[in-house]
């Protein structure tokens, strides 16, 4: 809504937003597994489904959900084994990106979500792109924050140990090296602070929470298995690029330039395949919302208003 503000002797028109709605928390049982989710906003408003990355959970969207809930309906689930969702054994649940997409697709259907934008970041890209190619008619827009679907968007230096697994198969020695680096408290902190303008301003709760969850018994093997399974995402890149070219969802790209894993050539690919791209490169690290959350929220509002997405 618009309101008039008097500053000195000058009357100006400014945009004001209704009070943000409180975040709601719940579980949805999907195929016998309880999927935790955060939700806020009026379901009659445009829906944004927020799909998290590694090693985080819906926790990474905590502030964005509250900020945008005055104007949007937001829902952010945790994948099985992540955040507050069930952590079934590998015998009870197949930990793969195919199955994550099946689970989250089932979650959305059970929640009655049949029209939405997908906010994809890191692991959220392979999960979200599987859903988008399965249900292109449901996807109103893509919000892409270092959610990669292009081979040039993979940094060969940081991906080298994982790519070695793809080439030679799962290897205990290589996996032990990866685990020691990636799952340590310092390694997790680095993922949040590397490339940021002000590392001291990044909330330590992020890596402390991730460290606690990722070091539960059985987690290392599951996460290493997902690293190995990531090769199947790369194999699907041509299919996902074809989806973009055919269906042309409008896209807001808010890409962290200093991401050690997904460099900016991954962002540039969207400009090749899509006609309607609001393209933004941000001077921050992998988890851009930690440092540029307010900026990204504003860009989402402008993006929706310019396209009259309802």
Catalytic residue status for 194:
no
151: DSSP letter: G
Measured CA to CA, the distance from residue 251 to residue 90 in angstroms comes to 35
Q: Which of 33, 59, 73, 286 is catalytic?
A: 286
b/e 77-115 (16+ beta carbons within 10 angstroms → b)? bbbbbbbbbbbbeeeebebbbebbbbbbbbbbeebebee
Q: Which residue has the tokens 């945008």?
A: 68
Query: Does residue 178 contact residue 156 with C-beta atoms inside 8 Å?
Result: no
Measured CA to CA, the distance from residue 203 to residue 304 in angstroms comes to 29
Token output for 250: 């409008």
Active site members = 286
């Amino acid at each position: 809504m618009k309101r008039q503000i008097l500053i000195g002797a000058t009357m100006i028109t400014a945009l004001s937003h209704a009070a943000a709605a409180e975040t709601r928390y719940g579980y949805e049982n999907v195929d016998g597994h309880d999927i935790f989710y955060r939700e806020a906003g009026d379901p009659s408003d445009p829906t944004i489904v927020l799909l998290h990355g590694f090693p985080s959970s819906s926790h990474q969207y905590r502030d964005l959900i509250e900020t945008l809930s005055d104007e949007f309906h937001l829902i952010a689930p945790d994948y099985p084994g992540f955040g507050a969702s069930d952590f079934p054994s590998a015998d009870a649940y197949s930990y793969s990106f195919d199955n994550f997409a099946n689970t989250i697709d089932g979650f959305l259907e059970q929640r009655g979500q049949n029209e939405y934008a997908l906010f994809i970041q890191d692991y959220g890209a392979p999960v979200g792109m599987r859903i988008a190619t399965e249900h292109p008619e449901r996807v109103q827009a893509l919000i892409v924050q270092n959610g990669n679907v292009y081979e040039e968007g993979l940094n060969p230096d940081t991906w080298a140990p994982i790519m070695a697994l793809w080439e030679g198969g799962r290897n205990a020695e290589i996996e032990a090296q990866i685990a020691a680096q990636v799952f340590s408290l310092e390694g997790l902190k680095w993922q949040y602070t590397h490339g940021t303008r002000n590392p001291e301003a990044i909330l330590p709760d992020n890596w402390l929470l991730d460290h606690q969850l990722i070091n539960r018994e059985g987690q290392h093997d599951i996460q290493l298995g997902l690293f190995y399974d990531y090769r199947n995402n790369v194999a699907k890149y041509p299919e996902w690029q074809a989806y973009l070219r055919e269906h042309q969802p409008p896209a807001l790209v808010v890409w962290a330039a200093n991401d050690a894993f997904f460099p900016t050539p991954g962002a540039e690919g969207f400009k090749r395949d899509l006609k309607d791209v609001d393209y933004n490169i941000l001077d921050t690290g992998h988890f851009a919302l930690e440092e540029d959350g307010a900026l990204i929220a504003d860009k989402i509002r402008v993006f929706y208003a310019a396209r009259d997405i309802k």
